[in-house]
Structure 1
Amino acid sequence: MQKALGCTSLILTCCVLLYLVLWTNLSEQWNRIEGQIVKSGFFGKKNKHTDDRVLIMKTIITSTLSLSSGATSLYKAENLFVEHEDNTTPIQILYKKNFTKLPVWDFEDVYSQDHDARKPTCSKSLRNTEDLKIKEAFFPNIQLWLYRGQLNITEWNRLAHFNNPFGFMEYKYDEIKPAVDLIPKPKSSILLPVPESAKDGCVRCAVVGSGGILNNSKMGKEIDSHDYVFRMNGALTKGYEEDVGNKTSVFVHTAYSLYSTLLGFRQFGYDSIPQNEGIKYVMIPEGLRDFQWLQGLLQGKEASGDFKGVRPLSFFNGHFNESRFYVLHPDFLRYIRNRLMPSKQLQDNTWALYRPTNGAFALFLALHTCDIVDAYGFITEDHHKYSNYYFEKFKKTSVIFYINHDYGLEIKTWKKLHESGVIRLYQRQENMSTSRVT
C-alpha cells in the first residue's frame, strides 16, 4: 500500500513539474509575440488602446477566430502563428470565394492611429460638428499613410484578413512587402499645412470630381479661390478653366485610373496628369497591380504583372518627387467603408466587389486634412440631367452604375454631409451667392 502511494506521489510530482515547465515556456513565447505586436505599425506608441488590442491579438492566437457574421473561420487560430526565425510566419491565405458575405472579424473596427495627426484650431473644423452620428463615426487620428517600416509579419497577419483595397486577402507576404519597403515615410503626416494667410487657422479645400454637373457651371474662379484643390482620375482642366479652374494641389489616383484615363480621355485633350508646382500625389493601393506599379515607380524601372513593359515614372514627365508622394493606408480605406460608407452590398455574395469610388476616398481624405471642404462635380440626385463628364460637349453619356460602387449610397452620403454642414455640395439648383469661400 505504501509502495503504491509512493508511486502515485512521484507521478503527481512529475506532472506538476512538467506543467510548470510548459507554462513557463508558453509564457515566454507569448511575451515575445506580445512584444512584437506592441512594436508593430498597428499599435505604434503605447496608448490607452494598446492593452485592448493586445488582448484582441491574444484571443486570435489562443482560440478559434469567430466572425460576427455567424460564419466560422477556415482554420484554427492556433495555426496563425508558427515558430520561425522571428517567431511568426504569414497566416495561410484567405480566399474571398469562401465567404458569402463580408466576414467581420473581432478586430474589424480596430485601426492604426497616427499620434502626430494635425490638431485643428479652426472653429469650423469637422471635429466640431454637432451631428452626433458623424462625430461618433469620425476618427480624427486615423492612420492615413502606408510607408516603409510599417509592414512586419504581425501586421501582415492582421491585414491579410481584409480584402483589397482594405487589406491583403488572397495575396502573399513576399508580393507586397518589397513594394511597401520602398514607400518613403512622409516628412510630416500633415498633408496640407495651414496657409499663412489663414488668420482663423482654417484650411479651405475644394474637391473636384468629373461630373457633368460642372459643364457650363462657371465655378472655376470659386474653385481656385480655395487654399487647396483636390482632383482625381481624369482631371482635365485645359480648355475648361472657366467651369473647373486650373489649380491642383492634391491628385488622387490608382495605377489603373492614371493609366486608363490618359488613354480614354485623350480624345478630349487630356494628355498628361496634373503637374502643378508643388503638387502632392496620393495613390490608392487598389490591388496587387498597384504594388507592382509602385515597385516600378520607386525603382525607376518597368512595372511587372498587369503593367509589364510600362514605366510608371514616365507618367510624371520629370515632376515626380518622393517627398510629395503618398500612399493611403488600407486601414484608412477600410475605415471609410465600414464607418462612413457601409453598403448593403456587403451582405450578399458580391461583397468583395464593393468599394467607394476614388472620388469618395478623395473627399474623405480632404475631410481628414482640411477644415472647410466644398465638393464640386460629385453625383447628386438629379444626375440624370447632366452628362457623365463635364468635358463631354458633343456626344453625352450617362452615369453607369457599376457593381463595384454604390452610387445610390454616395448620393445619400453627400446629401447628408451637405445638410449637416460638414461639406458644401455644389448643386445647380442652389443659389451660389451663398458660397462660404472668401
Structure 2
Amino acid sequence: MTTTLLDLAEAKQTAALKTQPVTSPPKPAQDQIKINQLSRSQGVDKTKRTTRAPLAKPARVPGPTEPPYIGDFYMSENIPTQTNCPDGIRSRIKESEFGPRFLEHIPVLQWAQHVTQEQHQRLKRYPGAHGWGGVDYDTLVDTLTVLNSSANWRMLDDWESRRNKLECSHCAVVGNGGILKGSKKGKEIDGHDYVFRTNGAVIKGFEEDVGSRTTHYTFSTNTLMNSMRSYGGIGYSGPPVSTETRYVFLPDHDRDYLLMKAASTHTFVVRGPERGKDPTRYFGKDVSAAKLKMYHPDFIRYLRNRFLRSKILNSQFRSIYRPSTGAAMLLAALHTCDQVSAYGFMTPDYSKYSDHYYDKSYRQVGFYANHDMRMEMTVWQKLHKAGLITLYMRN
C-alpha cells in the first residue's frame, strides 16, 4: 500500500533550518574535461495537503576559511527504517572510520514535501547536482509535486512485498567495469533482493557475467543520452525496462526535472535539448510516477564534501566536480540497504582490465576532471576493509 503525503504529515520531524549567507556560486563549466589538463597538484588523487519540508539543521559549523560553495549544511528528516536488520550497515558504520562523516538522517531522495520557497532560496546557490542553481522555482514545483508518495521517498519502496520474512535487505550494485568480463558473477548478482545499475549497462549477451535483473537504474539525462550515442552499436538502446525497475535521476540540469515530469505524466518534454521527445521511448509504456525517484541535491553535495572531498575542489575545475554516477549509486545503496555487494567498480589492478566489460577490444580507463576516480577507488577499498561493503576483486 502506498503512503501518501497525509500519512507522512503525521510523522514527527523536528529540526531547525540554518543556512550560510547567500553567495554567488561559481559558474558551471563544460561537462567533461580530460584529466591531463589538470596538473597533479590541482587534484589528481593518485591512490493536496502537504506538511512543510523537514527543516534542515547544520551538520557542523564550517571553518572560517571554508569556501561558500562547499555548503556543509543539509536537510534532516526522520523516515522510519524498513527493516529490523540486527547488523546492517547503518548500525556498523558509526563505529568505523566513516562514522564521523556519516549522517543517518540525510535525505537520499527529494520529493514533493521538499519544494518550498525557503528551500529554493537555500539550494539555488549551489550549481549542478549539488543544488538547485539554474533551476527555476516553477519547474521544481511542476516536477517534484508529482513525486508525492512513499514510492518516491523510499529507495526500497516495495520491501514489504519482497522481503519473504528476511530481516535484512541485500543489494548488488553493479558498475560497468571491465573486471566483470569473464567473472561469471551473473547468477550471484541476480540472487540479491535488489540490483542497482547505471549508465550504459549493456545486459543482453553478458548475462552470465553481470546478471539480467535491474531494480534501480541511476542516471542523469546527460549520461543517458551520451550512453545511447556511445554504446548503441554494442546493444545499449536505453535503460533496462521491467516491472521491478525503478528509475533514479541524478539531476545535473533543469533538463532532468523536465524529463522526470514528462515521464510521470506521459507527455512530451516541453523544452530543452529533449524538447518534443517521448519519455516512454526510454522508460517503457508502463512508466509512472511510482517508478521514478530523484536524488536530493543535499545528498550529492554531502557525498562530495564528506566521502569524496577531492583536491579538484581546490582547482579551477571545482564547479564541475561531482561524484561519478556510479559512486552516487553505490553510496546511496550504502545509506539505504542493510548489506551491499559491489561489482564492476575500479580496483587497484584496474589497468589489467578494459574500461567496460562489453568493450570488444581493450580500452584504457580514461580520467576526467569532473570526477576523481582514483579517490573513489580508494574509498571502495576502505569500505571493503571496514566490512561495510563486499567489493568484487579478482585477487
Classify the TM-score, shorter chain. Answer: 0.7 to 0.9
1:362 maps to 329
Per the alignment, in what secondary structure is the counterpart of residue 263 of structure 2? Answer: helix
Report the count of equivalent residues.
348
Q: Answer whether contact 2:258 2:269 (CA < 8 A) is retained.
A: no
1:245 maps to 211
1:216 maps to 182
Q: Answer whether contact 2:152 2:290 (CA < 8 A) is retained.
A: no
Among candidates 263, 266, 272, match of residue 297 of structure 1: 263
Q: Answer whether contact 2:96 2:386 (CA < 8 A) is retained.
A: no
Q: Answer whether contact 1:186 1:326 (CA < 8 A) is retained.
A: no
Whole-Å separation in 1 of the counterparts to 2:275 and 2:213: 33
1:20-35 matched pairs, under 5 angstroms? none
Q: How far did 1:245 drift? A: 0.7
Whole-Å separation in 2 of the counterparts to 1:185 and 1:350: 38
TM-score, with structure 1 as normaliser: 0.73
1:155 maps to 119
1:275 maps to 241
Q: How far did 1:198 drift? A: 4.7
Among candidates 91, 104, 124, match of residue 128 of structure 1: 91
Taking a change above 3 Å as real, the CA distance of residues 263 and 349 of structure 1, as seen in their structure-2 partners, is closer
Rg larger in structure: 1
Matched, 1:180 2:147: no
Q: Answer whether contact 2:70 2:305 (CA < 8 A) is retained.
A: no
Runs of 5+ consecutive residues of structure 1 not aligned to the other structure: 1-40, 66-72, 75-93, 430-438
Q: Answer whether contact 1:296 1:304 (CA < 8 A) is retained.
A: no
Per the alignment, in what secondary structure is the counterpart of residue 273 of structure 2? Answer: helix
Runs of 5+ consecutive residues of structure 2 not aligned to the other structure: 1-7, 29-42, 44-64
Q: Percent same amino acid at aligned positions?
A: 33
1:42-191 matched pairs, under 5 angstroms? 47=14, 49-50=15-16, 53=17, 56-57=18-19, 65=21, 94-97=24-27, 104-105=67-68, 108-118=71-81, 120-129=83-92, 131-187=95-151, 189-191=153-155
Per the alignment, in what secondary structure is the counterpart of residue 342 of structure 2? Answer: strand
Q: How far did 1:351 drift? A: 0.7
2:62 maps to none
Q: How far did 1:294 drift? A: 2.4
Among candidates 314, 321, 324, match of residue 347 of structure 1: 314
Q: Which has the higher contact order (CA 8 A, sep 6+)?
A: 2
Q: CA RMSD in A?
A: 2.7
The aligned amino acid for 1:127 is R
The aligned amino acid for 1:214 is L
Whole-Å separation in 2 of the counterparts to 1:188 and 1:297: 14
Matched, 1:401 2:367: yes
Per the alignment, in what secondary structure is the counterpart of residue 168 of structure 2? Answer: coil
2:5 maps to none
Among candidates 342, 350, 357, match of residue 390 of structure 1: 357
Whole-Å separation in 2 of the counterparts to 1:228 and 1:321: 20
2:170 maps to 204
Whole-Å separation in 1 of the counterparts to 2:285 and 2:97: 45
| Cα-to-partner distance string for 1:322-374 (whole Å, 9 max, x where unaligned) | 11211111111111111111111112221111001111111111112211100
Whole-Å separation in 1 of the counterparts to 2:394 and 2:70: 43
